[in-house]
């Protein structure tokens, strides 16, 4: 129609594109409710990523806090492992502590010689420093070859008895006494100071030495043949090799072990041999170094002891 503006042609109606699914934080504006099937078909398919939630809308990046240094030291717990600080219900009980054992006291070391048999011949010295011997027999008899007593060359005779671990009492028929005692790892003798005197407790102990049995069986005083006056000839053999005879009052010589005999040599060229015979002992005498011809012989008995031949 003339004079009227020409009518603009109507714009073609736009086809609305499907709106993406909204997340819970979407705008509060109203959106036509879509069917569930259409929503699933229209939503982009996003492959699930580890440690990230699966979403149906635009990917939202959630910042993850870095582990603290303490957590890094602890590390990631292994599945099934017992968290540190907690008690596992199936934990293996720790073994019971072994009770402390108190060690037994160490016994004192034994001292060689202290508990050895006392029977036998002992060599020692008197108050003058002269050697003499003390013989202790198994039957309790004691005898010395000490010639300074009242019995002279016959020595002393008596009895002995152990009265403790470290003391031996020796009493003689002449009224004197000695005491053996264990001091400084060896046996010592406290000797009476002079003939006829009793034991002096202030006397100085003198060391004693056990004599070799091969030699000890000869040491001491030996009683020989009887003299016309009823007395007996005696020979005393000392541990230091001295020999003393009552022949002519007193004769001093020497002696040594020869085989199973004690050979005595005298200044006048006489020799005596104390040797075994018929389960006992005999004394044979001759002149010269060798026994030529028949030698004088007599029974020999050691005073205060009975040595085995």
pLDDT digits (tens, 9 = 90+) for 180-217: 999 989 999 987 655 455 555 567 889 999 999 889 88
CATH topology of domain 218-302: Lipocalin (2.40.128)
pLDDT tens, position by position, 8-27: 445 445 444 445 444 444 44
Report whether pLDDT(97) > 80: no
In the chain, the N- to C-terminal Cα span, in Å, equals: 181
* 61-75, 88-102, 233-247, 253-267, range with the lowest pLDDT: 61-75
Report the pLDDT value the prediction gives residue 218, as an integer from 0 to 100.
Answer: 92
Contact 263, 273 (CB under 8 A): yes
Same fold, 120-214 and 218-302: yes
Per-residue pLDDT, averaged over 205-231, amounts to 87
Per-residue pLDDT, averaged over 69-92, amounts to 52
| Domain residue ranges of the chain, discontinuous segments joined by + | 120-214, 218-302
Residue 85, burial from CB neighbour count under 10 angstroms (0-12, 13-18, 19+): exposed
Per-residue pLDDT, averaged over 139-150, amounts to 86
Per-residue pLDDT, averaged over 111-136, amounts to 86
pLDDT tens, position by position, 285-306: 999 877 665 678 889 988 765 5
The model's confidence at residue 165, banded by pLDDT at 50, 70 and 90, is: confident
Report whether pLDDT(271) > 90: yes
- Determine what percent of the chain is predicted with pLDDT higher than 90: 22
Task: Indicate the pTM of the whole model.
Answer: 0.54
CA–CA gap between residue 2 and residue 106 (Å, rounded): 143
Report the pLDDT value the prediction gives residue 264, as an integer from 0 to 100.
Answer: 95
Per-residue pLDDT, averaged over 45-58, amounts to 50
The model's confidence at residue 93, banded by pLDDT at 50, 70 and 90, is: low
Q: Which CATH class is domain 120-214?
A: mainly beta
């Amino acid at each position: 129609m003339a004079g009227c503006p020409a009518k603009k042609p109507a714009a073609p109606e736009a086809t609305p594109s499907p709106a993406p699914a909204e997340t819970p934080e979407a705008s509060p504006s109203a959106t036509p409710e879509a069917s569930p099937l259409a929503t699933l078909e229209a939503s982009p398919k996003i492959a699930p990523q580890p440690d990230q939630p699966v979403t149906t809308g635009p990917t939202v990046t959630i910042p993850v806090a870095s582990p603290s240094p303490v957590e890094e030291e602890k590390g990631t717990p292994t599945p099934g492992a017992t968290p540190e600080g907690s008690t596992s219900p199936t934990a293996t009980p720790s073994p019971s502590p072994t009770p402390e054992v108190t060690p037994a006291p160490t016994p004192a070391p034994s001292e060689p010689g202290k508990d050895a048999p006392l029977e036998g011949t002992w060599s020692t010295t008197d108050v003058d420093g002269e050697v003499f011997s003390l013989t202790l027999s198994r039957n309790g008899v004691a005898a010395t070859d000490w010639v300074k007593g009242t019995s002279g060359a016959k020595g002393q005779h008596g009895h002995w008895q152990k009265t403790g671990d470290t003391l031996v009492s020796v009493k003689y028929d002449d009224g004197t006494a000695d005491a053996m005692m264990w001091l400084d790892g060896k046996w010592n003798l406290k000797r009476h100071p002079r003939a006829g005197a009793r034991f002096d407790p202030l006397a100085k102990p003198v060391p004693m030495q056990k004599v070799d049995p091969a030699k000890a069986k000869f040491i001491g005083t030996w009683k020989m043949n009887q003299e016309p006056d009823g007395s007996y000839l005696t020979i005393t053999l000392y541990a230091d090799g001295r020999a003393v005879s009552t022949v002519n009052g007193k004769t001093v010589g020497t002696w040594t072990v020869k085989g199973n005999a004690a050979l005595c040599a005298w200044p006048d060229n006489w020799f005596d041999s104390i040797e075994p015979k018929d389960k006992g002992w005999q004394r044979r005498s001759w002149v010269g170094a060798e026994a030529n011809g028949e030698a004088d012989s007599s029974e020999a008995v050691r005073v205060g002891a009975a040595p085995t031949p």
